[in-house]
C-alpha cells in the first residue's frame, strides 16, 4: 500500500486539505461549504484508487482547529477509501493486492 501526503493550507484566507499524488493534487475545502468541490475531490480520489492502493497521511499536524478537523477528516476518508477499494476488487474493477 502506498502513501499519499496531505496538509492543511490557507489560500486567500480559506482553509483546505491539499492531497498530493505525484504531480496531481486535490483540494478539499474546510472553511467553505462547497459540496461540488468536495464531490469533485472525491471523484479524483476514486480515480486514484483505480491506479493504486493507497492511504493518505497528514504532514505536520498542528494544534489549530483546522489541523485537528483535517486529521479526523483524513482518518475517516482513509476508512472510506479502503471500503471503496474492497468493493472495486469484489467487482473486478481493480486487481486485488495492488
Dump pLDDT digits (tens) for 56-70. Answer: 999 888 899 999 999
Residue 98: is its pLDDT beyond 60?
no
The three-state secondary structure class of 26 is strand
The Cα 63–Cα 52 span in angstroms is 31
Residue ranges of the domains in the chain?
2-90
pTM listed for this prediction: 0.86
Q: What confidence score (pLDDT) does residue 26 get?
A: 96
Amino acid at each position: 500500500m502506498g502513501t499519499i501526503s496531505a496538509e492543511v493550507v490557507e489560500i486567500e484566507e480559506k482553509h483546505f486539505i491539499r492531497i498530493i499524488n505525484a504531480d496531481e493534487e486535490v483540494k478539499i475545502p474546510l472553511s467553505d461549504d462547497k459540496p461540488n468541490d468536495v464531490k469533485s475531490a472525491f471523484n479524483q480520489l476514486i480515480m486514484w484508487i483505480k491506479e493504486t492502493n493507497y492511504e493518505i497521511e497528514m504532514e505536520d499536524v498542528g494544534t489549530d482547529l483546522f489541523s485537528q478537523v483535517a486529521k479526523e477528516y483524513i482518518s475517516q476518508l482513509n476508512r472510506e477509501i479502503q471500503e471503496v477499494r474492497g468493493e472495486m476488487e469484489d467487482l473486478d474493477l481493480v486487481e486485488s493486492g495492488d
